[in-house]
Amino acid sequence: MTTEALALIVFVPLLVAAGMVVLPRSWLGLLIRIGLLPLPFLLLIPTMEVVDNGAYRVVLAGHDSPLGIVWLLDPLSLLMLWLNVGITLLVSLHASFSFPPSDQPARRFWPLWLILFASMNALVLSADLFNIYVTLELVTLAAIGLIAVEGKPAALRAAMRYLLLALMASLLYLLGVGLIYGQTGVLDLYLIAEHLEPAWLTITALALMIVGLLIKSAIFPLHAWLPAAHGNAPGPVSAILSAMVVKVSVYIIWRLWFWTAGDWDLDSAATLMGILGGLAIVYGSVAALVQQRLKMIIAYSTVAQLGYLMLLFPLASTLAFQAASYHLVSHGMAKAAMFLAAANILRSVGSDRLSRLAGIDQRLPLDVFALALAGVSIMGLPPSGGFLAKWLFLEAAREQEAWGWLVLVAASGLLAAAYLFRVLAVMCLHPRRRLRSDRRRRAPNLASVAAILLAVGAIVAGFASAPVLDLVAAGLPPGLAP
């Protein structure tokens, strides 16, 4: 039952995507619904399975690894699945307005969208290194396609650079996989550990894979592709890129680090990872502060926020795991909300240059509201999911008396406040604030509602944390479980 449900979760969107290419255009709307709407209900079945019995291993098509497809459904991957499904659904709500099935680009957009969705689901479930490689490639390619889907020059350039760097990253990763396979003959993420000794070759492999993934998750200073790509992509694409796509790569690094290499002594390397994270936070925030375009600000904000996820490595404890996962959840919702709101604003004004956004709150109050609410979570101010994540991080740091990380996490909210309040001040309070006459299309209200829903979700996450945190606590890597 669970196996079938999981398979459906991955393959239904894929099949629908194929159907979209084949079937006439008038079917598009229906197909979108078929591809997306049943998924939350399907997801209930594995959820119950995990809640009742814990981790669940799926072997598809009867072949165990290394040849077949092996999935592992544990609490963490379940969380990722829910997050992906939830955010994708809400963003799709927005996308159904920005890419209405009747329009021309919709035929290119929606298949890619569903492929991206399906491959991310497959990625978080994948339990062997090669499968991960394949799904990761799929994710990247679909994302690149989506960035360029409208065919704007800037977006094309950004997609191109993304493509180049992603290819390089894939190569690094693949090299690592090859080395490990050569060493052990095993690809299963959770079995390698038994065969793997920290020899120089395996270490090289690990370093290659991790850096490859770091490029894909745009961790400073390997973030070069992200701002342009996220800043120029269509709204829903930016949202899903920032909320999910970069996160799944980090998720894989976690898997490698804590499961595959779980019993190694990684302290000094972990510090390096933490420092990269810290640099990302500082650099991303400062860069966001000096941007002139709204979407670029949000994109750099993503660069900064990804840094928090790296803090898990040096802190490495139950609390830190909960913190990082919760940050993943709340940032996902908040950032998606911000990009959607920004997309609505861009659509309405025709530009997202800050200098042109003065007084926008009168025209698009809902979107500005969503932006502000999501901003609260990004800044880590209570009450919001961002705050709880920050709180857990702080608690984790204090528990280990890691004062440096503690101060970094506590103070970094100020940086976020600096760039976000700059945006809000311009939007709501500019001295030249007047209603402009160049009223263009006004984004349909439901598009704003999607943004609002996500933003409210980020806030509500500040109150209803128990299910998520319990889930994470149940799915700790073996080394960390109490």
Partner 1 sequence: MSAVAAVLLPLTLMLLFPAPDRLRRLAIGLTPWSGVILFWPLLDQASASFSWPLLGITLGVDAVNQPLLLLTALAWNLSAWFAWNTIDRDRRWFWSGWLGALSGMSLLLLSGDLATFYIGYALLSLSAYLLITHEHNDHAWRAARVYLVMAFVGEAAILGGILLLAGNIGNAEFATFPDHAQTLASSPARWLLLAGFAVKMGIMPLHLWLPLAHPVAPVPASAVLSGVIVKAGLLGWLRFVPGLDQDPAWIGWALLGAGLWTAFAGVVIGLTQQRLKTVLAYSTVSQMGLVLCAFALTFLVPDQRDSLLGVIGLMALHHGLNKAALFLACGSSLTIGRAGRTLFALPALSLAAFPFTSGYLAKNALKSFMETTPAGGVLVTLLALTSTATALLLWHAWALAGRTRSRNPSLQPSWALMVLAGIFLPWAWALVTGLVDPPRLYLLWSATSPLLLAAALAWWAGRLGWQARGQIPEGDLVVLVERLARSLPGLIAQREIRHRARPGLLPHLQRIQALYEQHQRSVQATGLASLIIIGLLWLLLWV
Partner 2 sequence: MMDLLLFWTPLLLVVVSALTGIVIFIAGERKARLRIILNLLAAVLKVLMVVLIGLLVLAGHTPEFRISLVPGLDLVLRADALSLLFATLSAVLWLVTTVYAIAYLERSPNRARFFGFFSLCVAATMGISLAGNLLTFFIFYELLTLTTWPLVVHTGTATAIRSGRTYLRYTLSGGVLFLIGLIWLYGITGPQDFIAGGTLAEHDLDHRLSLQIIFVLLAVGMGVKAAIYPLHRWLPEAMVAPAPVSALLHAVAVVKAGAFGLVRLVEDVYGPELVAGLGMDLPLLLAAAFTILYGSVQALRQVDLKKRLAFSTVSQVSYIVLGIAVGGPLATIGGIVHLVHQGLMKIILFFCAGIFGNLLGIKYIHQLDGVGRRMPWASACFTVGALGMIGLPPVAGFVSKWYLGAGAVAVGREWVVAVLVTSTVLNASYFLPVLKRIWLNPPPDQWPDEVQVSRIEIQALVGSAMVAALLALGVGLLAGHPLSPLSWATAIVTEYFP
466 binds partner 2 (CB under 8 A): yes
152 binds partner 1 (CB under 8 A): no
Among residue numbers 159 through 198, which ones bind partner 1 (CB under 8 A)? 161, 164-165, 168, 172, 198
User: 25 or 398, CB closer to partner 2?
Assistant: 398
User: 21 or 290, CB closer to partner 1?
Assistant: 290
284 binds partner 2 (CB under 8 A): no
Q: Which residues contact 30 (CB under 8 A, 6 or more apart)?
A: none
Q: How many CA atoms lie within 13 A of 57 on its CB side?
A: 13
Q: Which residues contact 32 (CB under 8 A, 6 or more apart)?
A: 16, 92, 96, 101, 110
Binding partner 1 (rule: CB under 8 A), the pick from 12, 214, 297, 329 is 214
Distance CA 449, CA 239 (A): 15
Residue 191's CB: how many other CB atoms inside 10 A?
Answer: 16
Contact 121, 40 (CB under 8 A): no
CA distances from 119 to 176, 305, 444 (A): 21, 24, 30
Binding partner 1 (rule: CB under 8 A), the pick from 60, 89, 134, 289 is 289
Q: Which of 249, 250, 251, 246 is nearest to 225 (CA)?
A: 246
Binding part of the chain for partner 2, among 15-23, 72-80, 178-186, 462-470 by CB under 8 A, reads: 462-470
357 binds partner 2 (CB under 8 A): no
CA distances from 414 to 282, 286, 311, 390, 462 (A): 10, 11, 18, 12, 19
Q: Which of 86, 171, 79 is nearest to 124 (CA)?
A: 79
User: 301 or 465, CB closer to partner 2?
Assistant: 465
417 binds partner 2 (CB under 8 A): yes
Q: Write the DSSP symbol of residue 219.
A: -
Binding partner 2 (rule: CB under 8 A), the pick from 66, 286, 369, 456 is 369
404 binds partner 2 (CB under 8 A): no
| Least spacing, CB of residue 408 vs partner 1, in Å | 19
User: 154 or 272, CB closer to partner 1?
Assistant: 272
37 binds partner 2 (CB under 8 A): no
Tokens for 35, please give them: 């591809």
111 makes contact, choosing from partner 2, partner 1, none, with CB < 5 to 8 Å by partner type, with none
| Least spacing, CB of residue 197 vs partner 1, in Å | 13
Answer left, alpha or beta for residue 58, where phi above 0 means left and psi between -120 and 50 means alpha: beta
Q: How many amino acids of this chain bind partner 1 (CB under 8 A)?
A: 33
Q: Which residue stretches of 380-465 are H helix? A: 385-399, 403-429, 445-460
User: 32 or 288, CB closer to partner 1?
Assistant: 288
208 makes contact, choosing from partner 1, partner 2, none, with CB < 5 to 8 Å by partner type, with partner 1
152 binds partner 2 (CB under 8 A): no
Binding footprint of partner 2 on the chain (CB under 8 A): 361-362, 365, 369, 376, 381-383, 387-388, 390-392, 394-395, 398-399, 406-407, 410-411, 413-414, 417, 421, 425, 428-431, 433, 462-463, 465-466, 469-470
